[in-house]
Amino acid sequence: MLIRESVPLAPYTTIGLGGPARYFADCASEQDVREAIELARARSVPLHVLGGGSNVVFRDSGFPGLVARIATRGRSFESSDDAVLVHAAAGESWDGLVAESVARGLSGIECLSGIPGTVGGAPIQNIGAYGQEIAETLVDVECLDRERAQPVTFARDQCGFAYRMSRFKGTDRGRYIVLGARLRLRRDTRPTLRYAELAAAAAKRGGVEGLEAPAAVALVREVVLELRSGKSMVLDPADPNTRSVGSFFMNPIVSAEVFAELKRRWDPPSFPAERGVKVPAAWLVENAGFRKGYTRDGVGVSTRHALALVNRGGTTAQLLAFAEEIERTVFEKFGVKLEREAVVV
């Protein structure tokens, strides 16, 4: 495993921000990961595990320890009754896995098309879009316990999944390094479209009802990619709006009492949630005065999506100051606290 020093981190993130890492290593195997852990301990420096860099923001000063980028590879598909068990290494491209699964006619993750990042980051974030979450199809997650240097596998029910949350992001943040994941995808099953925007867009293309299952799954992927591209949520070097980490804020879930007051005063859109009412963060951001295209000090709001904070030649300090202003203004106006989906290292 090659250890490099003073490696700029901005090129390893989709937002293109961040100073240098003191040490940097690509980990192409579990053994490389183990060596990275030992090296950080031996040199008494912090260790940060990096995937696709699509949900992470590094400080302008960089990172004072070792950044270990997970670069493991490998995908397999194994038939199991009426389903297929899919195993993928943590360093595999998430959308690459979705693309191959759809090409094989498998359903269960087609609505998660176009999400940047790696397989390893997907269960940590419990990625979701257009009515699907990875928690629905996940079988288990293979990890390495950083404290004991031992492998451990967590079944889906042990992962503590919630909206954009898991034990790996919450109670056990930083303890486990994801090495791989297994999913259970369905064969010969036409997708169920739960999200109104997706269903309407698919209907314009003829809908999925009259199609065989593989063709229906392929159509859903095409439509999702179109919708995401229209919001600059598919990575494209030619689109400056994609210099972001996607949605910077999560959609807040508020109590029925808080929502009743919001509805009385502002009548925002809403969606039902397990423990309250989900209010679109994009609506809160825009109605707090931060419209699409708003720009200040080299950072701003995407021209296509109010939740994407975009790097327009600025710095991490400017980005975080802008995010804090949005959070403060939303809270002062609506009494709702925005939580960040992006991870600031």
Helix axes 94-103, 213-230, angle to 10 degrees: 150
From the list 190, 247, 302, 327, the catalytic residue is: 247
From the list 110, 133, 142, 341, the catalytic residue is: 341
From the list 146, 164, 167, 182, the catalytic residue is: 164
Placement of tokens 């257009």 in the chain:
130
Cα 175 to Cα 148: distance, rounded to the nearest angstrom = 10
**260 membership: H or E segment, kind and range:** helix 256-265
Residue 300 is encoded by which pair of tokens?
A: 């701003």
Residue 160 and residue 76 in contact, taking contact as beta carbons nearer than 8 Å: no
**Extended beta strands in the chain, E state:** 3-8, 20-27, 47-50, 56-57, 63-70, 75-80, 83-89, 128-129, 132-133, 138-145, 150-155, 176-186, 253-254, 271-273, 276-278, 295-296, 299-301, 309-311, 343-344
Strands 343-344 and 56-57: parallel
Residue 190 is encoded by which pair of tokens?
A: 């036409």
**3-state SS, one letter per residue, for 24-35:** EEEECCHHHHHH
- Which residues are 82's β-sheet partners? none
Cα 114 to Cα 99: distance, rounded to the nearest angstrom = 9
- Which residues are 150's β-sheet partners? 145
Question: Does residue 247 carry a catalytic annotation?
Answer: yes
Residue 65 and residue 19 in contact, taking contact as beta carbons nearer than 8 Å: no
Residue 12 is encoded by which pair of tokens?
A: 């390893």
Residue from 73, 74, 19, 21 nearest 50 by CA:
21
- 292: helix, coil or strand? coil
Residues assigned a catalytic role: 164, 247, 341
